Structure 1
Amino acid sequence: MGAQAGALGGRRVLITRSADRARPLASLLSGLGAEPLVLPLIDFERATDQAALDAALDALAAGGFDWLVVSSITTVRVLVEKAAGRGTTPAGLVPTGTRVATIGPSSRQVLEAAGIPVALAPVDNQSAEGLVGLWAAGSGRVLLPQADIAAPGLREGLAAKGADVTSVVAYHTVDFPARPGFRLQAELPAAVDRSRHTTAEELSPLQARGELDAGTIDAVVAASPSAARRIAAALLPLGRCRFIAIGRPTAAEAVTLGIPVAATAKVPTPDGIVAALGTVFANEGNIR
């Protein structure tokens, strides 16, 4: 990453996440001489149907599932919050006989930091598609807690492999900010968030618009298709600002929305995002 990272010095990078979720990437960017900026565009609220979610977690704790499939860090926040409400740990929600699968290194890291061992996760294609590709035919009963707007690919892919999938809404993705009292705000395990003291300037949409018009933002990072949609609704035109997608679904959504994609992070981690940014700026040399 050395040569690529060297191209980041002085670059101003807009991260379209809330400050707490942006910290790991902001910390890495700062350490490489870039200036991270934060513009929260999406937020997360607790599931409206708590009874359905609680029933699914009761069945999980009772050994009713062979697998728990976790497709996002936000789902882990739900598990942390639910465990606290039940007077247990996140690991206490998952019985010994139930295996856990996830789709990427970030989710795996946070699950294992919470004491939940991960039995299956793709290495090369770190995505829902990658997990489905690894899935053994059948594999029994699966609990899949997801966002209300989650794409059907993971659920349908596992079912096509013969799994008996129970899908439940774990949280709602909403425009930032979430409603007071509804926001999902459980903290991840401290071992995961090593950048708690990192701060980045937080912009309002109006400030971001002014910066984009002035050409003073070099790149904007979108972590999900929903973030791409919010960027399209609130920030276009991007001008000279390059759009960096985290994952192929985000890139595909951006293309559908007419947003040129400068690069797609091959790995959905801060290192992977920095590598994508570094490639874009290294190819441009010193052109600003």
Structure 2
Amino acid sequence: MPHPDDLAGALGGRRVLITRSADRARPLAALLGSLGAEPLLLPLIDFERAADQPVLDAALDDLVAGGFDWLVVSSITTVRVLVEKAVERGTTPAALLPAGMRVATIGPSSRRILEAVGIPVALAPVDIQSAEGLVELWTAAPARVLLPQADIAAPALRDGLAAKGADVTAVVAYHTVDYPARQELRLEAELPSAVGLSNNTAPRELTPLQTRGELDAGTLDAVVAASPSAARRIAATLLPLGRCRFIAIGRPTAAEAAALGIPVAATAQVPTPDGIVAALGTVFANEGNTR
């Protein structure tokens, strides 16, 4: 990881577009701002509650009753779902898990959030922080696994766990939609990552028209995509990027961008704000911090 002084030198004055809503972008935006960069927002994707709530509720009832050995959480958005469901039931997220239940996740961000809401994590990859990394670590077969995930989730995690002997029940926990989600269906549970961040850390939000103007003028230095679905929305709405560099949060996002014909300037080695900032720093340091 680059030294903070080196990052500040590379990122100072850089204008970085984050394609997430303000509540999800704040940790990265705050870090960028502390290093002298100007974070800007253009939310492209959002999340709505699952259409089939009875199926999700039945799976959670089975979870509470001890019907599963493992709960696998593959995104921070799934944690939002668990928090909302706990509130609906008048309990805490930790109370959804019976004694002896173990939890696995795919990286440090989701692990930190899970543990912050009172759910201990027994298994999470360190080197390869992705579905692939978790499958590589998995040795818990045979086991009954509940996998609540997005409606557009790739089958790699489900199929990888099943190939190792796990009995996987995958359920749709939420829908990924174009921003903005319908207000009555939007997932809005507050997570600990947003606690302690003042309103002053919220960056300016651009409209699509303003973003197009910035791209055409060459005044955006980088755009950050935090998921393959964000890469798809960038391809559909923002191309051509001109001199704006595409930064991927991880290998699945980079692979999706490449498949869509978007040149990837850098991929974060770890899918965290620190990892993204390090990737940005590498790109700009190599350019000599000149426009």
Instruction: Give the structure-1-normalised TM-score.
Output: 0.98
Within 1, Cα distance between the matches of 2:278 and 2:195? 20
Q: Distance in 2 between matches of 1:249 and 1:16?
A: 16
**Contact 2:257 / 2:263 at 8 angstroms: preserved in 1?**
yes
CA–CA separation in structure 2 for the residues paired with 1:91 and 1:159: 26
Matching of residue 219 in structure 1 with residue 222 in structure 2: yes
The equivalent residue for 1:245 is: 248
Q: Are 2:104 and 1:109 aligned?
A: no
Once the 2 structures are TM-superposed, how far is the Cα of residue 196 of structure 1 from its aligned partner?
4.2
Q: Which residue of 2 aligns with 1:51?
A: 54
Deviation at 1:286, TM superposition (A): 2.9
Q: How many residues align?
A: 287
1:145 matched to 2:148? The reply is yes
Contact 1:23 1:196 in 2 (8 A): no
Does structure 1 conserve the Cα–Cα contact (< 8 Å) formed by 2:7 and 2:35? no
Report the residue type matching 2:277 in the other structure.
V
Deviation at residue 137 of structure 1 after TM alignment:
5.1
- 1:89 corresponds in structure 2 to 92
Correspondent of 1:68 among 66, 71, 94: 71
Q: What is the identity, as a one-letter code, of the residue corresponding to 1:281?
A: F
Indicate if the aligned counterparts of 2:68 and 2:144 stay in contact, CA closer than 8 A.
yes
Aligned mates of 1:12, 1:136 — CA distance in 2: 44
Q: State the partner residue of 1:126.
A: 129
Q: CA deviation at 1:96?
A: 1.4
2:279 corresponds in structure 1 to: 276
CA contact 1:5–1:274 (8 Å) conserved in 2? no
1:195 equivalent to 2:197? Answer: yes
Query: What displacement does 1:5 show?
Result: 3.8
Aligned residue among 36, 45, 65 for 1:33: 36
Could you say what secondary structure the match of 1:181 adopts? coil
SS in 2 for 1:262: strand
Aligned mates of 1:175, 1:44 — CA distance in 2: 8
Q: Give yes or no for contact 1:246–1:264 (8 Å, CA) kept in 2.
A: yes
Matches within 5 A, 1:170-185: 170-185=173-188
Amino acid at match of 1:181: E
Q: Contact (CA 8 Å) 2:72, 2:105: kept in 1 or not? A: yes
Distance 1:214 1:131 in 2: 42
Structure 1 residue 138 displacement after superposition: 1.2
Q: Secondary structure at the match of 2:17?
A: strand
Match in the other structure for 1:155: 158
Residue range with higher mean Cα deviation, 152-161 or 175-184:
175-184
Rate the CA distance shift 1:165–1:77 in 2: closer, same or farther, 3 A: same
Say if 2:71 and 2:104, in contact at 8 Å, map to a contact too: yes
| Residue 228 (str. 1) matches residue 231 (str. 2) | yes
1:196 & 1:146 partners in 2: Cα distance?
30
AA in 2 matched with 1:255: A
Between 71-80 and 178-187, report the one with greater CA deviation.
178-187
Other-structure match for 1:13: 16
The unaligned stretches of length 5 or more in structure 2 are: none
Percent of aligned pairs sharing the same letter: 81
- Separation in structure 1 between the aligned mates of residue 142 and residue 73 of structure 2, nearest angstrom: 16
Q: Distance in 2 between matches of 1:70 and 1:196?
A: 28
Structure 1 runs, 4 residues or longer, greater than 2 Å off: 191-197
Q: Matched residues in 2 for 1:120 and 1:139: separation? A: 16
Q: Per-residue displacement from partner, 1:105-164 (whole Å, max 9, x unpaired)?
A: 000000000000000000000000000000005141000000000000000000000000
CA RMSD in angstroms, aligned pairs only: 1.0
Matched to 1:82, the amino acid is K
Q: Distance in 2 between matches of 1:192 and 1:80?
A: 14
| Letter aligned with residue 264 of structure 1 | T
TM-fit CA distance, 1:97:
1.2
- Partner Cα distance (2:269, 2:286) in 1: 17
Superposition deviation, residue 193 in structure 1: 3.8
Q: What SS does structure 1 have at the residue aligned with 2:11?
A: coil
User: Quick one: structure 1 residues 36 and 215, their matched pair in 2 at CA, closer, same or farther if it must change by over 3 Å?
Assistant: same
2: CA distance, partners of 1:95 / 1:122: 24
